[in-house]
Structure 1
């Protein structure tokens, strides 16, 4: 593996840990800082919302900064945020640290993807996106188990110290090995936001949002499903989550290889279609453990298999704003997580069984499949962008409304 891609993957993994690891230590944080568990849970919500908003905004505001320098600066801010969490004397300070790590983490994740595709041949682009995405999804495997282990052995604060050290090591290697990377053609924030007027671009982000919303309608409440429907003990529940995480890690690579082999559009349709089918079928396998294990693996793998194909598609659909589109897509992912968790909460409180969460989630993913079909059927005209480029004499302005 390209050493630069490996380091970028490790950095993405570290950022993923900061977001996901909180879930494993919420009771300990609540007890230590004197707040309720539900209040401590706002640390997850705050991170997701700040991440969703800050990613596109910061990427646009820093569009003139050389990318290696920006990456290093983002890592410095991220490290300071992690150290602030380690030191935090009260809940307010810890909440501020979440704002800092979310904002810097959104830049690190997006830059990891955009830099990675520039240091490998074009025919490996989707595969490299899958590798970096695998770094993020690896945090699913280790996040909660590490959180629980730290709470039992070392306390929750030490986690953030470890994360700061990992990020510092990644920063040092990037400083030594990575050459300066000039930013793409500078584009005003208004034009970058105007790219969402393109149906093909906006539709891609909506597919991501809907798939993650459908996913988290069940996944956010998967423990009640395992407890109440399958009657599993805590140890078996941990095993299921670990197995799901392994599948998610594999999914990033599978999605990259699939996109390189079949193309982004076909891969997206396959992933979204099979994902919806797996959610509808999953509740019926609760009494058949081998089949249930297969469905959990498929579900887990597909939860991250979409990312490489989606990112590759966005690069093809909007090459002039590829960085901002990847940031928008991660924002859509975070909004989908928040929406799915909220929808799942309504379903589980009103439906007779948590199995309905899977079916409602499946319906949402079916809508995502319909949006993908509609999006891919649209044609993008480049005529107006070419005319605009001639009008300007030198720079080619992108066409954002060519649908």
Structure 2
């Protein structure tokens, strides 16, 4: 085998590694959001209220928010390949426990383990993926891995609903565990050793947060995340009750959202590699406008479906813009930035869902969507507070 063939083989192996990390993040996030579509059958299965069953969604988010920075510090000099594999195995374990749980308490234990995996894998995945490829290809590696995260975020709910209707709510947890085992085995075969480059301690974690550009990115993404989840938590009632869609119409809308979300990650990559500040502002504005447009489109269901698809595209683009923003802020401390971003995103998910729940109960879905759009607009303004030369210079 000549040098050219060896180079091509090494390049293919590197991108396969990136794909395997993306696959792990997809399974991770699918597992996290899956109960949104399964609350009723889970509640019936354990003989509990839907409100109690909702703990299966909030529990891993809270654990992830707390553990993301802690795991980044505790990781120390541990080989990043080992960390990725162990966290993928944690995803498998959590789904196996959920599948076999005879009581809701045992089920929640599985979800808490998932929270640890969410906090860790989200924090390390993009940083590790960028190390597998040449520096010039870092943005593409980021977009592929974030595509896995975005795909999990938007696919978990519709896939879970279909699986529950066909074969019961436990089936999907079994499928994810089986797929996770395949991914973990391939990670063991493909991923190279990845010694620690920079050991992240509490000082470096705080140091990243003190970087003006990083701090602006964290605050901006938190606002957009809260605004998004104020509305997204109630996307199914919006489609069913406000647009009066039947089962097939809801499936079409959610599928369109999912596909557009995956495509949006690559749109975000192209925008961010040209001008990361402009990309962050544009995608944040786009998410907010989609929420407002969803209110305006209530009398025309097909228009409402179109807005939901555009919403998926916009929010699919936003996370990759945030990741590239964080990397640009301080490349050497990117693991710290990822950990802090995971914490802020999980908090945004919990806060957004809580605010949305109060608004839906007191004012209705339409006002809820308008408030979500307004919060996103605040997030879009924040990146404008930092000078362009500080971002792109």
Deviation sequence 1:165-217 (CA, Å, 0-9, x none): 21221111111111101112224223313432333212211111110111112
Give the equivalent residue in structure 2 for 1:11. 24
- Which moved further from structure 2: 73-82 or 265-274? 73-82
Aligned-pair CA distance for 1:283: 1.3
Q: Does 1:354 align with 2:361?
A: no
For residues 301 and 379 of structure 1, the distance between their equivalents in structure 2, rounded to whole angstroms, comes to 28
Q: 1:269 aligned to 281, 292, 297, which one?
A: 281
Q: Does 1:114 align with 2:134?
A: no
CA contact (8 A) 2:164 2:172 kept: no
SS at structure 1 position matched to 2:289: helix
Aligned-pair CA distance for 1:42: 1.0
- Structure 1, unaligned runs of 5 or more: 381-403
For residues 91 and 296 of structure 2, the distance between their equivalents in structure 1, rounded to whole angstroms, comes to 43
Q: Does 1:22 align with 2:35?
A: yes
Give the equivalent residue in structure 1 for 2:98. 85
Give the equivalent residue in structure 2 for 1:295. 307
Give the equivalent residue in structure 2 for 1:189. 202
Give the equivalent residue in structure 1 for 2:235. 222
Aligned-pair CA distance for 1:58: 0.6
Aligned-pair CA distance for 1:224: 2.9
Q: Assess, with a 3 A threshold, how the Cα gap between structure 1 residues 229 and 123 changes in structure 2: closer, same or farther.
A: same
- Structure 2, unaligned runs of 5 or more: 1-11
For residues 340 and 284 of structure 1, the distance between their equivalents in structure 2, rounded to whole angstroms, comes to 22
For residues 228 and 161 of structure 1, the distance between their equivalents in structure 2, rounded to whole angstroms, comes to 32
For residues 20 and 290 of structure 2, the distance between their equivalents in structure 1, rounded to whole angstroms, comes to 34
For residues 354 and 161 of structure 1, the distance between their equivalents in structure 2, rounded to whole angstroms, comes to 34
Give the equivalent residue in structure 1 for 2:317. 305
For residues 223 and 161 of structure 1, the distance between their equivalents in structure 2, rounded to whole angstroms, comes to 24
Q: What count of residue pairs does the alignment treat as equivalent?
A: 378
CA-based RMSD: 2.0
Give the equivalent residue in structure 1 for 2:377. 366
Deviation sequence 1:271-321 (CA, Å, 0-9, x none): 112222222232112223454343222211111211112111111212232
Give the equivalent residue in structure 2 for 1:96. 109
Q: Assess, with a 3 A threshold, how the Cα gap between structure 1 residues 108 and 187 changes in structure 2: closer, same or farther.
A: closer
For residues 348 and 74 of structure 1, the distance between their equivalents in structure 2, rounded to whole angstroms, comes to 36
Where do 1:120-269 residues align within 5 Å? 120-260=133-273, 262-269=274-281
For residues 225 and 154 of structure 2, the distance between their equivalents in structure 1, rounded to whole angstroms, comes to 18
Q: 1:342 aligned to 345, 349, 354, which one?
A: 354
Aligned-pair CA distance for 1:154: 2.9
CA contact (8 A) 1:204 1:375 kept: no
For residues 387 and 232 of structure 2, the distance between their equivalents in structure 1, rounded to whole angstroms, comes to 28
Q: Does 1:72 align with 2:72?
A: no
Q: Does 1:333 align with 2:345?
A: yes
Deviation sequence 1:99-132 (CA, Å, 0-9, x none): 1111023322332211111122223222221111
TM-score using structure 1 length: 0.88
For residues 86 and 27 of structure 2, the distance between their equivalents in structure 1, rounded to whole angstroms, comes to 16
